[in-house]
Amino acid sequence: MKTALSFDDVLLVPGYNDIKSRSDVTLETYVAGVDLHLPIIAANMPSVCEADMAIALADAGGMGIVHRMQSIKSQCDQVIAASMHRSVGGAIGIGNDWKVRAETLIGAHASIICLDVAHGHQQRVMEVALEFLDSYKLPLIIGNVATGHSARHFASEINDLDHSRVALKVGVGGGSVCTTRIKTGFGVPTLQSVMDVYEVLDDLNSDISIIADGGVKCSGDIVKALASGADAVMLGSLLAGTREAPGDVIKDDKTGLKYKVYRGAASYGAKKAHFGEAEYVEGAERLVPYKGSVDKTLHTLADGIKSGLTYCGVDNLTDLLDEAEFIRITEAGYKESLPHGIYGA
């Protein structure tokens, strides 16, 4: 059997650095032709991205994808509000209303449409994607996929001229509130998926972009994802619990601590809220500490990514991809990477 690597299985090897300051590092990238100054996209999840989060991401140079687990009007009102701050996306499904939702989002000035399906490597997704690309000029994110084979399939079916306005959302089962791998037994570690998809697209000389989605726990994981071929990362848990994330702040009267609810898009709570029932779920929900403004989180992540690039001796993401060298580490190596030896521990 093939060994599949996750973020914690590898490290990047430090290289010679002549960069004076991480402030000299640029994080500019593009996803399906949409220019970003921060390679971070807010996940299209009900407890992560609505108008406030999309606005905050746009102001920081990234992008938010407003989720589809709501009425078309509600989603489009949020996209309209966010569109005044430059880039914002809207998610659609593959149901009978996909075209109505897509056209309404386009009319609401969405910068990009996200075709949101848990298992994206299927015939119906291909049909909708091809019809969308043939009918509209807007960029399209297709997800989620997990293998080089899926990337080759989409690349071969999509007209070469359209590759530059397509992105693949890569990752199945890696989200912190996703239970797909437990419920179904299927999935691939996100880092491995990104490496496999990039290898295929690079071999085809394809302009299709890659978004790493799931399993990112810290800025170091973001650097690893970008170094392995991703053009941007999609974040859920790292942005959940912030002021801009949807949902009320919950206060524990005994401790005084504050929380917000973080739900998987296929969790009981999310499905119940949108569909009125939830017979089968592939997502969990939990309370996460309230973090205050997402601006602080994004600033911290951006600093970590920039610092990571200086360890590689590069000042941009293109050079990171060219110069990065991965090594595989043991469990002992991973433990050494964590804080240890403090106060005699």
Active site residues: 178
Q: What are phi and psi for residue 177, nearest 5 degrees?
A: -115, 25
Task: Report yes or no: 231 and 22 within 8 Å, Cβ to Cβ.
Answer: no
Beta sheet of 285-289, edge-to-edge order? 250-251, 258-263, 285-289
Residue 293 β-bridge partners: none
The answer to whether 225 touches 216, Cβ cutoff 8 Å, is: yes
Cβ contact 99:107 at 8 Å: no
Look-up of token digits 């949902």: 247
What type of residue is 7? F
- For residue 319, the tally of other CB atoms under 10 A from its CB is 13
What one-letter code names the amino acid at 313? Answer: G
Q: What is the largest CA-CA distance in the chain?
A: 64
Question: Distance between CA atoms of 344 and 22, rounded to whole angstroms?
Answer: 34
**Count of CB atoms situated within 10 Å of the CB of 242:** 23
CA nearest neighbour of 328 among 110, 100, 4: 4
Q: Which helix (H) or strand (E) holds 29?
A: strand 29-31
Q: What kind and span of H or E run contains 209?
A: strand 209-213
Beta strands in 236-282 (DSSP E): 250-251, 258-263
Token couple for 99: 């075209």
In sequence order, which residues have a C-beta less than 8 Å from that of residue 134 and are 6 or more positions away?
none
Q: Are 157 and 143 in contact (CB under 8 A)?
A: no
CA distance 341 to 339: 7
